Amino acid sequence: MRALGQGMRLGMIGLGMWLFLRGELTLGGVFAARVMAGFGFSVVEGAARSSRALGAARRGHAAVRAALAVTPAPAPDLHPGTDRAALRVEDVTHRHPGQRRDLFRRLSLRVAPGEMLLISGEGGMGKTTLAHLIVGLDPPRHGRVFLGDTDVATLGPEDRARLIGYLPQHVELFAGTVRENIAGMERGSLVDVTDAARLAGVHDLILGLPEGYDTPLSPDTFDRLSGSQRKRIAIARAFHGAPRLVLLDEPWANLDAPSRKIVEAGLRHLKAAGAIVVVTQSYRSGSLHRLADSHLILDTDGFGFAPPAEVERPAPGALRSVK
């Protein structure tokens, strides 16, 4: 299009000079014709661009309509008793794409309602990866994870939100009110929201905010909350609605001792109510060990299970090898 425009302009100048040499056009007329030709071409060029944009918009509109017309496949129905059943990890083997070594191989475990599993290990041993597999964020390379007879990887968004409360290692808050952040970006029952906030020890803090639970949060205001305060709001989100499976990935990071004691009390409450609790830790916490009913240790030598009361690391060679 640009080359065509340049050609037209040169052509108009050439024609004008020819007419000038024949005495049929003045120099002023030559330059006036040049200007008018350039203006006319700009109008045509703009119309062509608008036509292309309009065509792209029409194609995009048609694609959106087609996508909205597709009815998503319904999530499988839950098996009876899923909300009261045990967590089962069955023969799970997993490694990240591009890796040659398995993080864990043929890992199996069971956590009954009202029990807590503590997963320990240094950084890079697979704690967060295993957490993702347990809550169904990622499918295992081999093996399956069940709540009762329901594969967690098949849970629909609504069932997942109702059955599973999850605290990721890296906490994120969202643009919305404090109430919406705790309720998973829904309005949520205020009773359920405040119950979760009390369990996470953040209720009094929220009441002290300018608009209480209706205080808006945004990327511009996140920094007004300390790391501990943001963490406790995220923990309240994991506790919201009394889920049947609660998984906290490194919950003690950025929490001071008083906040940890409050969250420990919240975990005891959830266990007493029949929830399955899974917690990961990178360093030893005596209070978490005392609260746990079983203890999975991930190490470079593999994985192993330690008695609930055992706080120190197992002796070398005590872990089952994955090699």
According to the model, what pLDDT value does residue 283 have? 72
Are the CB atoms for 240 and 196 separated by under 8 Å? yes
According to the model, what pLDDT value does residue 78 have? 61
According to the model, what pLDDT value does residue 315 have? 42
pLDDT digits (tens, 9 = 90+) for 190-207: 999 999 999 999 999 999
| Residue 307 or 175, more confident | 175
According to the model, what pLDDT value does residue 7 have? 66
Distance CA 313, CA 120 (A): 9
**Token pair 């997942």 in the structure block, residue:** 160
Are the CB atoms for 267 and 276 separated by under 8 Å? no
According to the model, what pLDDT value does residue 312 have? 43
3-state secondary structure at position 203: helix
Distance CA 300, CA 122 (A): 9
Arithmetic mean of pLDDT over the chain: 80
C-alpha distances (whole Å) from 80 to each of 83, 135, 150, 277 are 8, 19, 9, 21
Name the CA dihedral angle for 257, 262, 268, 269, rounded to a multiple of 10 degrees.
-170
Stretch 288-309: mean pLDDT, rounded?
78
Q: Which long-range contacts (CB under 8 A, 24 or more apart) does 313-322 make?
A: 313/284, 322/102, 322/104, 322/105, 322/106
According to the model, what pLDDT value does residue 37 have? 63
Residue type, 181: N
According to the model, what pLDDT value does residue 74 have? 56
| Residue 124 or 82, more confident | 124
**Token pair 């030598």 in the structure block, residue:** 301
According to the model, what pLDDT value does residue 172 have? 87
Q: Which residues of 278-295 are buried (b: 16+ CB within 10 A; e: fewer)?
A: bbbbbeebeebbebbebb
- Segment among 80-84, 122-126, 212-216, 276-280 with least mean pLDDT: 80-84
Instruction: DSSP for 23-82, please give it.
Output: TSS-HHHHHHHHHHHHHHHHHHHHHHHHHHHHHHHHHHHHHHHHHHHSPPPPPPPPPTTG
According to the model, what pLDDT value does residue 181 have? 92
Q: At what angle do helices 27-69 and 2-21 cross, to 10 degrees?
A: 160
Stretch 206-213: mean pLDDT, rounded?
93
pLDDT digits (tens, 9 = 90+) for 220-269: 888 888 888 999 999 999 999 999 999 999 999 888 889 999 999 999 99
The model's pTM is 0.70
According to the model, what pLDDT value does residue 279 have? 95
pLDDT digits (tens, 9 = 90+) for 45-90: 665 666 666 666 667 656 666 655 555 555 556 666 666 789 999 9
